[in-house]
Structure 1
Amino acid sequence: MKRYSFFKKQENHKSTDFTDVLEHLQKSKDFTSFTLNFENEIYCVSFFDTLIDKDIMHRDLLPYLHTNSSTLEELVHNLPIEGLVFTKNPAELQSQLLMGYIAITLNKSDQAVLVKAANNTSRQVTLPEVEFSVVGPKEALVESLDTNLYLIRKRLPIAELAVEEIIVGKLSKTRVAVLHIEGIANKENVETVIQRISDLRVNQIIDSSYISQMIEDNKNSPFPQFIDTERPDRLAAVLGEGKVVILVDGAPHGLLGPSTFFEYFAAFEDYFLNWTIASFFRLIRFFAVLFSILMTPIYVAVLTYHYELIPKDLVSTLVISRSGIPFPPILEALILELAIELLREAGARLPTKVGQTIGIVGGIVIGTASVEAGLTSNVLLILVALSALGSFTTPVYQMGNTIRLIRFPLLLMAYFLGLLGIAISFCFLLVHLLRITSLGRPFLEPLYPPRIYDMRDALIRLPFFLQAKRPIEVQTEDTVRLEPKEDSKE
């Protein structure tokens, strides 16, 4: 595992001696430094109480300090601990103490032994909460980078799985791991990700979403360009396709790229189902998203400018529904859309049980009350509710947020220009999608540029034996993922 440090110059800077470093750290109440005298040997043991596992110190370290060790080399030979590090650099001493190491000096020498004793308390592996599936594995990533690497490595027990570790953040010193499979992943994609992360000059990295926002190709686009997932099985699968995975210590989800627009509507559960059923579900998701984006703007456009498009059998229903409504269609639609967004935000920010109750009861009460009060019509209430349900069908949460956002510009354009405004908005949206790239790869692939082979796993998912090669858009070094079956010789 290679390490890239953001503060190489700072690490090379040496303080006057170890004593100055320890005196500086003793300003913190959770820092402990004490001496032990054994005959003519004086050991100084220093550590942060809140960062180390005290069982390691009392079980594996302190009982062995009384051995006859006249030098640190002899002490290391007697300690039953692996991964001991010698250092003469006071700056390195300070940084390792802050990472959960115990520092040992002998007779006030200018050399120290660093013992790794970090307290790795973390949440246990649990069920996925955002990408839950009925069939398939039930493990989700946690906040520990080492645990997440284990969950991926046990699914890919190969030497070709490479992990590049980068330290990012002047204050947080966050560990960021970039994963790829050598011989499969495109080297340009890997180097691009490592270069962009290494060039970051920030104080803190708290979550992987920080990394995603900072290294995207188009930082002003509402469309995400890295897929955010909490499933280690999905990360292992895309590594096999030649993609690059980013894991951040402290984040219970990983990033994968390059990504395409159609991947945001493909649930990983699709690969656990028969290809006909999976393809049907994908088409339902695409239809639901189009319905969510277009239905309310079309309602406003038709009632504002295009009455002649309404079927005769439906005119009477709309007239009765809108009779007594004092607001124009655009204001009526905005009121309901904003009410839905308020309920959604309230349900998301409240505790789980209370949030579900608020969402259900609030939706029923507000919807019924607004219709009875004559503020909105029954027809529009149904359309807005179905549009909200349609935005929930996207498997990736970030894409659902984007769909919620782009409905409002379409609504305004429908009010000002009718169906022409919707068409113009759609053209702008299409041009924007054509300009977006993910790690330099086209975002609308396989539609643009047209790649017929990759269409086998886009709008629909064909059987596995028809997807013998890896996606063209990733530009992998090894394109074959399903070798043809050899004919048996009798």
Structure 2
Amino acid sequence: MKKRNLTTYDIGDLQEHFKKTFHNSPDLFFYEMKRGDSSILFIYLKNLVDLTVLNQTILPSIINNTKESSVDFKKLIYQLPTTLAKLTDDMEEITYKLLEGNIFLFSPNAEKGLLINLEKKVERGLEKAETESLVFGPKISFTESLSTNISIIRQNIISEDLCTEKLTVGKKNEAEIRIVYLKGMADEEIIQSIRSQINSLQVNDILDTSVLAQLIEDNSYSIFPQYVQTELPDRVTYSVERGMVAVFVDRSPMVLLGPASLFNFFESTEDVYMRWNMGSFIRFLRYLTMFLSVILTPAYVAIITYHYEMIPSTLLVSLGESRSKVPFTPIFEALLLEIMIELLREAGARLPTKVGQTMGIVGGIVLGQAAVEAGFTSNILIIVVALSALGSFTAPSYLMGTAVRVIRFPILILAGIWGGIGISLGLCFLLIHLIRLTSIGVPYLKPIYPFDKEHALNTIFRMPIHLLRTNPDKKGFFSFRHQRSQDIDE
């Protein structure tokens, strides 16, 4: 069917066209203004338009500048008190712009209509970060407004080398995406890879940055996140200045950072704000507790089931007394407690904040005590499971903490079946997977594998600032240039 040109419509036809297009929506509003022998038809979706600006600024200006018998939008566009106006006769563009909060002015005598952007922004103000809480450093977080988030980064990185590329994704509901990086610091191949992956997406809508991350990851089947997701502007600033690429999505308060290594998920900008020795201790503590979170409960099950000779005789008596009333096998007992902990965590997260905190503390104490008295589990296993749960919460990244909690279950089952051999088998498979995993083509275990002595020490520990300062024109710790996996193979 041939598309009709705007000049073939009269006011009545155009009203019927948009009523049909928007399915007789009650939000669609028409207002006809008589100017001499001609008329101007205003079309807009009233819930998306700032009516105060329309009534107090745009309408008086139009009335004062359209007194002739015919309306000339080519002259009017230069007399309006706004720069967000354009002439068009593209019906598809007009429809799309109406959904973005524009008003459309139509006159039967004009070749083109006039679009004026009067979008009414519905957004929350800058607030304290909830997901990633900090003791030191800036407390504000990103919002759902893309323009606000980009302006925050512009204020933090005052440089002409800061580049922001605009992309759009979504067939039915277009979402604006921005790729942000520092020219000369970020790897051009990585930027091109992200750009091509986003442009190749064939989806109806992008709901959030987490959805985008799943669509553009190198391995979508892996449980490990391959992009760092953060709501902290200072972390984005810190990462972009070191050569990483940030991806912003409109209507989402989270930002993607890549390429990411496993160790990036255990780092926090708070490590930089603290003294280097304190920051090093806390960072090393995170690595240790996350490893213990994976291994502690499976090790208990393996030792109790198959390797009880490893337990000192004094402790063995205590374990025997603790388990004397428990009718279940160690593997079933451990799985029961682990699932109970996960239920408490999930219930606490879904309840209101104050109720959720009470639920987690009181529920854990009551259920743990009741389980021991009822003979469902032993005192020692409750301590082991509690330490494992605490260890998984030390990761600054919520996604990585969740991944660690999930990994614990298959290793726990392997420990119950084959004991220490099962744990070794599970850890070997996990290590092989991590070695093969990449993030935008960069090895996931970089800089430990392949080993990069320049960055390895600062990855495990937080080195003193004066040792990290290098010439800004050179590639040092502050640039964090990544080596591609294909370069490593060569």
TM-score, normalization by structure 1: 0.92
CA distance in 2, matches of 1:103, 1:474: 49
C-alpha change, 1:377 and 1:140, in structure 2 (3 Å) is same
C-alpha change, 1:157 and 1:106, in structure 2 (3 Å) is farther
Which range is displaced more, 106-115 or 346-355? 106-115
C-alpha change, 1:471 and 1:296, in structure 2 (3 Å) is farther
The alignment status of 1:273 with 2:281, answered yes or no, reads no
Paired position in structure 2 for 1:125: 126
Report if aligned partners of 2:187, 2:481 keep a CA contact under 8 Å in 1: no
Paired position in structure 2 for 1:342: 343
Q: CA deviation at 1:455?
A: 1.2
The alignment status of 1:250 with 2:258, answered yes or no, reads no
CA distance in 2, matches of 1:419, 1:289: 19
Paired position in structure 1 for 2:488: none
Paired position in structure 1 for 2:49: 52
The alignment status of 1:41 with 2:22, answered yes or no, reads no
> What secondary structure is seen at the aligned counterpart in 2 of 1:61?
helix
CA distance in 2, matches of 1:249, 1:262: 28
Q: CA deviation at 1:133?
A: 0.8
Paired position in structure 2 for 1:24: 20
String of CA shifts for 1:115-153, please: whole Å, max 9, x gaps.
Answer: 111111201100011111111111100111111111111
C-alpha change, 1:15 and 1:362, in structure 2 (3 Å) is farther
5 Å-filtered alignment, 1:8-157, equals 14-17=3-6, 19=14, 21-25=17-21, 27-69=24-66, 70-157=71-158
5 Å-filtered alignment, 1:206-225, equals 206-225=207-226
Paired position in structure 2 for 1:417: 418
CA distance in 1, matches of 2:4, 2:384: 68
5 Å-filtered alignment, 1:188-267, equals 188-267=189-268
CA distance in 2, matches of 1:473, 1:443: 14
Which range is displaced more, 463-472 or 357-366? 463-472
String of CA shifts for 1:189-210, please: whole Å, max 9, x gaps.
Answer: 1111111111111112111111
Aligned partner letter, 1:158: S
Q: CA deviation at 1:16?
A: 4.7
Q: CA deviation at 1:221?
A: 0.2
Report if aligned partners of 1:143, 1:251 keep a CA contact under 8 Å in 2: yes
Which range is displaced more, 68-77 or 235-244? 68-77
The alignment status of 1:310 with 2:311, answered yes or no, reads yes
Report if aligned partners of 1:60, 1:81 keep a CA contact under 8 Å in 2: no
CA distance in 1, matches of 2:215, 2:65: 54
Which range is displaced more, 23-32 or 232-241? 23-32
Report if aligned partners of 2:242, 2:480 keep a CA contact under 8 Å in 1: no
Aligned partner letter, 1:82: T
Which range is displaced more, 311-320 or 393-402? 311-320
> What secondary structure is seen at the aligned counterpart in 2 of 1:66?
helix
String of CA shifts for 1:161-200, please: whole Å, max 9, x gaps.
Answer: 1111222122221111111112221111111111111111
Which range is displaced more, 325-334 or 65-74? 65-74
Report if aligned partners of 2:72, 2:110 keep a CA contact under 8 Å in 1: no
C-alpha change, 1:319 and 1:68, in structure 2 (3 Å) is closer
CA distance in 2, matches of 1:462, 1:102: 56
Q: CA deviation at 1:157?
A: 2.1
CA distance in 2, matches of 1:136, 1:472: 22
Paired position in structure 2 for 1:364: 365
Once superposed, what is the RMSD of the aligned Cα atoms?
1.6
| Aligned residues between the structures | 464
Provide structure 1 residue ranges, at least 5 long, that are not aligned to the other structure. Answer: 1-12, 477-490
CA distance in 2, matches of 1:293, 1:79: 64
Paired position in structure 1 for 2:173: 172
Aligned partner letter, 1:410: I
CA distance in 2, matches of 1:47, 1:337: 55
CA distance in 1, matches of 2:238, 2:3: 45
CA distance in 2, matches of 1:55, 1:368: 61
Report if aligned partners of 2:442, 2:483 keep a CA contact under 8 Å in 1: no
Q: CA deviation at 1:474?
A: 2.5
CA distance in 2, matches of 1:23, 1:374: 69
Paired position in structure 2 for 1:396: 397
The alignment status of 1:286 with 2:287, answered yes or no, reads yes
C-alpha change, 1:188 and 1:14, in structure 2 (3 Å) is farther
Which range is displaced more, 218-227 or 178-187? 178-187
Identity %: 40
Q: CA deviation at 1:362?
A: 0.7
Report if aligned partners of 1:14, 1:91 keep a CA contact under 8 Å in 2: no
Q: CA deviation at 1:394?
A: 0.2
Aligned partner letter, 1:293: V
The alignment status of 1:474 with 2:482, answered yes or no, reads yes
> What secondary structure is seen at the aligned counterpart in 2 of 1:241?
coil
> What secondary structure is seen at the aligned counterpart in 1 of 2:63?
coil
String of CA shifts for 1:365-404, please: whole Å, max 9, x gaps.
Answer: 1000000111100000000011100000000000011001
CA distance in 2, matches of 1:138, 1:300: 42
> What secondary structure is seen at the aligned counterpart in 2 of 1:154?
helix
Aligned partner letter, 2:164: V
> What secondary structure is seen at the aligned counterpart in 1 of 2:164?
strand
> What secondary structure is seen at the aligned counterpart in 1 of 2:78?
helix
> What secondary structure is seen at the aligned counterpart in 2 of 1:114?
strand
Paired position in structure 1 for 2:473: none
String of CA shifts for 1:21-52, please: whole Å, max 9, x gaps.
Answer: 43434521101122101223311111111111
Aligned partner letter, 2:327: P
CA distance in 2, matches of 1:358, 1:315: 34
Aligned partner letter, 2:482: V
CA distance in 1, matches of 2:18, 2:443: 53
CA distance in 2, matches of 1:295, 1:250: 40
CA distance in 2, matches of 1:110, 1:412: 73
Report if aligned partners of 1:15, 1:21 keep a CA contact under 8 Å in 2: no
CA distance in 2, matches of 1:100, 1:296: 56
CA distance in 2, matches of 1:101, 1:434: 51
Paired position in structure 1 for 2:448: 447
Aligned partner letter, 1:77: Y
Report if aligned partners of 1:15, 1:91 keep a CA contact under 8 Å in 2: no
Report if aligned partners of 1:173, 1:204 keep a CA contact under 8 Å in 2: yes
Provide structure 2 residue ranges, at least 5 long, that are not aligned to the other structure. Answer: 471-475, 485-490
